[in-house]
Chains A and B, each alone.
Chain A
Amino acid sequence: MRFAEVLVFVCSLLAAAAATAATDGKVLFEQKCTACHTIGGGKRVGPDLQGVTERQPRDWLLQFIVAPDKLLAAKDPAALKLFEEFNRIPMPNLGLSEADAQALIEFIATAGAAARPAAPQPAAQPALPQPDLGSLQSKALAVFLAITAVIVLVFIWVGASTRAPADVNTAKAYGLRRVLFITAAVLLTALLAATLPQAPYAAGDAKADRVVYVATRQFDFVFSEEPITSAEDLGRVRRMERPEFARGELVEFRVTSLDVNHGFGLYNPQRQLIAQTQAMPGYVNRLRVRITEPGDYKVLCLEYCAAGHHLMHSGLTAK
Chain B
Amino acid sequence: MRAVHKNTLYWMAVTFILFPVLILVGLFMRAVQADQLGGAQAWFYPMMTLHGVGMVGVWFVAAMACASDILERYCDPSAAVGRFALAGTVLGVLLLLACVFLGRFAAGWYFLYPLPLKGEWPAWSAVTFLLSITVLGATWLVWCLDLLRAIAKKYSLSRALAWHYLAGRGEPELPPSVLIITVSLIAAVAALLAGVIVLVLFYVELLSGATSDTLLMKNLTFFFGHTLVNLAMYLGVAALYEALPEYAGRPWKTNRIVAISWNAVLLIVLFAYFHHLYMDFVQPGAFQYIGQVASYFSAIPAAVVTIFGALLLVYHARMRWNIASLLFFIGLAGWAIGGVGAVIDSTISVNVALHNTLWVPAHFHTYMVAGLAFLVIGYFYHRCQEVARVPENAGAQAFTTALLVIGAYGFFAMFYLAGAYAVPRRFALYPLELNHGAGYSLAALVFASLFLAGFLLYLVSIWTRWFKAMGARA
Interface positions of A (Cβ within 8 A of B): 87-90, 92, 125, 127-128, 130-131, 133-134, 136-138, 140-141, 143-144, 147-148, 151-152, 154-155, 158-159, 161-162, 164-168, 170, 173, 177, 180-181, 184-185, 188, 191-192, 195-196, 198-201, 218, 259-261, 263, 265, 267, 271-278, 280-287, 298, 300, 302-307, 309-310, 313
Measured CA separation A198–B355 after assembly (Å): 16
Whether B317 sits at the interface, judged by CB under 8 Å, is: yes
CB–CB A306/B422 < 8 A: no
> Please, which residues of chain A bring their CB within 8 A of the CB of B332?
155
Determine chain B's interface SS by DSSP, over half rule.
helix
> Please, which residues of chain A bring their CB within 8 A of the CB of B214?
261, 280-283
B380-415 vs A: 1/0 string, CB under 8 Å? 000000000000000000000000000000000000
- Rounded to whole Å, the gap between the CB of B119 and the closest CB of chain A is 4
Query: Which one of B359, B420, B432 has the greatest number of beta carbons of chain A within 10 Å?
Result: B420
CB–CB A276/B355 < 8 A: yes
CB–CB B292/A196 < 8 A: yes
> Please, which residues of chain B bring their CB within 8 A of the CB of A302?
355-357, 424
Given contacts A261-B115, A306-B120, A310-B431, contact A151 B337 (CB under 8 A): yes
Query: Which one of B114, B289, B347 has the greatest number of beta carbons of chain A within 10 Å?
Result: B347
CB–CB B431/A298 < 8 A: yes
Query: Count of B residues near A, CB < 8 Å?
Result: 84
CB–CB A265/B424 < 8 A: yes
CB–CB A200/B426 < 8 A: no
- Rounded to whole Å, the gap between the CB of B184 and the closest CB of chain A is 23
CB–CB B356/A265 < 8 A: yes
Given contacts A195-B348, A302-B355, A307-B42, contact A158 B420 (CB under 8 A): no
Measured CA separation A126–B305 after assembly (Å): 52
CB–CB A165/B118 < 8 A: no
Q: Kindly identify which residue among B280, B312, B316, B345 contacts A278, using a CB–CB cutoff of 8 Å.
A: B280
CB–CB A260/B341 < 8 A: no
Given contacts A192-B293, A281-B214, A282-B213, contact A260 B115 (CB under 8 A): yes
CB–CB A306/B428 < 8 A: no
Measured CA separation A200–B308 after assembly (Å): 35
The segment out of B14-22, B144-152, B238-246, B433-441 that lies at the interface is B433-441
A-B contact pairs, 5 of them (CB 8 A): A131-B436, A151-B340, A198-B349, A199-B278, A263-B279
CB–CB B340/A147 < 8 A: yes
Measured CA separation A228–B107 after assembly (Å): 26
CB–CB B296/A192 < 8 A: yes
CB–CB B436/A144 < 8 A: no
Shortest Cβ-Cβ A-B pairs, 6 listed: A88-B42, A273-B422, A198-B349, A162-B319, A310-B427, A165-B318
Interface positions of B (Cβ within 8 A of A): 41-42, 45, 104, 106-108, 112, 114-115, 118-120, 213-215, 218, 257, 278-282, 285, 288-289, 292-293, 296-297, 299-300, 303-305, 308, 311-312, 314-319, 321, 329-330, 332-333, 336-337, 340-341, 344-345, 347-350, 352-357, 359, 416-417, 420-422, 424, 426-436, 439
CB–CB A162/B318 < 8 A: yes
CB–CB A170/B312 < 8 A: yes
Measured CA separation A304–B352 after assembly (Å): 17
CB–CB B421/A133 < 8 A: yes
Measured CA separation A39–B31 after assembly (Å): 33
Q: Kindly identify which residue among A148, A165, A200, A287 contacts B340, using a CB–CB cutoff of 8 Å.
A: A148
Measured CA separation A309–B354 after assembly (Å): 18
- Rounded to whole Å, the gap between the CB of B197 and the closest CB of chain A is 18
- Rounded to whole Å, the gap between the CB of B360 and the closest CB of chain A is 10
CB–CB B304/A136 < 8 A: no
Measured CA separation A11–B436 after assembly (Å): 61
CB–CB A151/B333 < 8 A: yes
- Rounded to whole Å, the gap between the CB of A129 and the closest CB of chain B is 8
Given contacts A218-B118, A275-B352, A309-B426, contact A168 B315 (CB under 8 A): yes
